[in-house]
């Protein structure tokens, strides 16, 4: 089958109208006519991911995020870079790799795979969700420190960041993914678990707000997973979904993994 046929099936099975004007969910490498030997889903198509996909016989890569380091994957912004861009592009061409991004369509899907995958990975069982699709959970009471330690064990995150008093008693969780960080000042939320956010200049979602709340004895916390950690588990959901209507070729997650590490 061809890459175009795969994309057509994604559109037909999406369950939401396809955004015809999207600049994100488009081909970044290869063409619709490219024959597909296998499909890899991933959070972003790093060079390492591309190499591992090729080694596994998967020449169609479906990432959630960008391939060429800018939101539009505008090659004119990077084409003069001989160190990374030209080598990455040459490898994609030489190996006949097609890259088709699924970002807007994935967030339009209900349920949103990124939230489903992230909740599953960090242990937010659906039975604790206040209502379907709210991404708000009420857990048995614990401490912020214990909750953060559990999240770290489950995700294997190497650079998890936490704001707030580790001894604060918490139970009410709001989940965010990627850049979708909920405000921490909501009265019925103790902890926001999110992908990433700038450390200052946010609106009631900054570390400073949480620090001030903690200093006033208000049990607030913020656990920052990082963008890749928060959304890559959703790409496993994506792989399983695609596998259901593309049985002709293998489909699997090839993890980009967390980009950050901390010194020992």
| 11 three-state secondary structure | helix
- Through-space distance between the first and last CA atoms of the chain, rounded to whole angstroms: 47
| Domain CATH for 212 | 3.40.1390.30
Same domain for 97 and 16: yes
In a domain, 26, yes or no: yes
Residue 86 lies in a domain: yes
Mean pLDDT across 104-129 = 95
Q: What are the tens digits of pLDDT across the range 198-228?
A: 777 667 667 888 999 999 999 999 999 999 9
Mean pLDDT value of segment 72-90 = 95
Name the band, by pLDDT with cuts 50, 70 and 90, for residue 129.
very high
Per-residue confidence at 151, pLDDT binned at 50, 70, 90?
very high
Tokens at residue 181, please?
A: 């960080």
Domain finish residue from 59, 92, 110: 110
Are residue 89 and residue 163 in the same domain, yes or no? no
- DSSP code for 188: T
Does the pLDDT value for residue 147 go beyond 70? yes
Residue 85 lies inside a defined structural domain of this protein: yes
Question: Region 5-16: what's the mean pLDDT?
Answer: 96
Q: Domain for residue 232, yes or no?
A: no
The answer to whether the beta carbons of residues 171 and 141 sit under 8 Å apart is yes
Domain that holds residue 85: 3-110
Confidence band for 154, pLDDT divided at 50, 70 and 90: very high
pLDDT averaged over the chain?
95
- Report the distance separating Cα 12 and Cα 104, nearest Å: 15
Percent of the chain with pLDDT over 90: 90
The answer to the question of residue 245 being in a domain is no
Whether 248 is in a domain gets the answer no
The token pair that represents 31 in the structure block: 């063409």
In degrees and rounded to multiples of 5, residue 83 shows phi and psi of -75, -45
Residue 238 covered by a domain: no
Q: How far is it, in rounded angstroms, from Cα 140 to Cα 169?
A: 10
Structure tokens of 224? 């920052």
**What token pair was written down for 32?**
């619709």
Largest Cα separation within the chain, whole Å, is 61
Residue 217 makes CB contacts below 8 A (sequence gap 6+) with: none
Number of domains in the chain: 2
Between residues 253 and 183, the one the model is more confident about: 253
Q: Is 87 helix (H, G, I), strand (E, B) or coil?
A: helix
Please say which residue of 110, 128, 154 terminates a domain.
Answer: 110
Strand order in the sheet with 60-63: 27-29, 98-100, 60-63, 39-42, 251-253
Average pLDDT over every residue of 98-109:
96
Residue with the two structure tokens 């597909």: 36
- The proportion of the chain whose per-residue pLDDT surpasses 70, expressed as a percent, equals 98
């Amino acid at each position: 089958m061809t890459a175009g046929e795969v994309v057509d099936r994604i559109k037909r099975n999406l369950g939401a109208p396809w955004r015809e004007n999207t600049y994100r969910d488009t081909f970044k490498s290869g063409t619709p006519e490219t024959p597909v030997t296998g499909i890899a889903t991933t959070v972003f198509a790093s060079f390492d991911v591309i190499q591992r996909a090729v080694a596994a016989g998967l020449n169609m890569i479906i990432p959630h995020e960008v391939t060429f380091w800018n939101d539009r994957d505008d090659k004119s912004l990077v084409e003069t870079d001989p160190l990374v861009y030209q080598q990455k592009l040459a490898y994609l061409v030489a190996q006949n790799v097609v890259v088709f991004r699924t970002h807007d369509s994935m967030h339009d899907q209900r349920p949103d795979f990124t939230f489903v995958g992230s909740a599953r990975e960090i242990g937010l069982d659906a039975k604790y969700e206040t209502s379907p699709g709210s991404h708000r959970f009420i857990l048995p009471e614990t401490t912020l420190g214990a909750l953060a330690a559990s999240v770290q064990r489950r995700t294997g995150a190497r650079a998890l960041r936490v704001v707030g008093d580790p001894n604060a008693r918490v139970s009410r969780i709001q989940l965010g993914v990627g850049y979708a960080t909920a405000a921490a000042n909501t009265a019925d939320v103790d902890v926001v678990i999110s992908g990433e956010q700038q450390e200052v200049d946010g609106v009631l979602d900054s570390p400073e707000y949480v620090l001030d709340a903690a200093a006033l004895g208000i049990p607030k916390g913020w656990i920052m997973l990082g963008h890749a950690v928060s959304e890559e588990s959703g790409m496993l959901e994506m792989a399983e979904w695609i596998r259901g209507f593309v049985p002709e070729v293998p489909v699997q997650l090839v993890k980009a993994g967390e980009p950050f590490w901390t010194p020992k």
